[in-house]
Amino acid sequence: RKLSEVVLAEVPDALFVAFNFAGTPGSDTSCPFAAKTVSREVSDAQAVLSHLRSSGRLPPPAMVHVVGLSTGAIVASLLRGADPHLTVTAVAGLLDVRQGLRYDFNEAQLASFDARGFCLKEFWLPIGSPSNPPTEAGEDVEPPTDGKASEGAWRKCYLRLDERYRQDFLSLDIRA
């Protein structure tokens, strides 16, 4: 939200769009976290761009600039060429997906993909949010010392992520 406030303060006629990809906690429940893939995220981003163009909210030749951070940088990079008026900024992205996999998954998680067909992926969730998915486990958090409820606090949880995420990730051609 802070980024949108800064952008819109500087460029009042800009259109700022932020959304959760399918499978990300807080998104539509039709795609559970376990079934998410980066290719699905690219498809989601293309659908948003298509909607903005077809709805008249952002008709061509209006420029579109996509900013992606970390995995979002991979998504942004894969959107290159999706629209002739699109530019991309990739922050903390990568080119080598095999090496990149080791940034997001530890040895135990990679071994779990092989042995069990899934791993438990850490994910920070807002405490008490009704949009939180079922979790496999969570780490205890210190209760507030000021007597206030844990509103606005986050908890590290572990969500099941299927092997197809890794397969999909390794198939990505970011250099193209």
pLDDT tens string 114-155: 999 999 999 999 888 888 888 887 665 555 555 555 567 888
Mean pLDDT to the nearest integer, 150-165: 88
- What is residue 168's three-state secondary structure? helix
Residue 59: alpha-carbon gap to chain centroid: 26
Predicted structure pTM score: 0.86
From residue 86, give the alpha-carbon distance in Å to each of 4, 41, 64: 19, 17, 5
Percentage of the chain lying above the pLDDT 70 cut: 92
| Burial class of 68 by CB neighbour count within 10 A (0 to 12, 13 to 18, 19+) | buried
**pLDDT for the residue 145:** 58
**Is residue 37 predicted with pLDDT exceeding 90?**
yes
**pLDDT for the residue 127:** 87
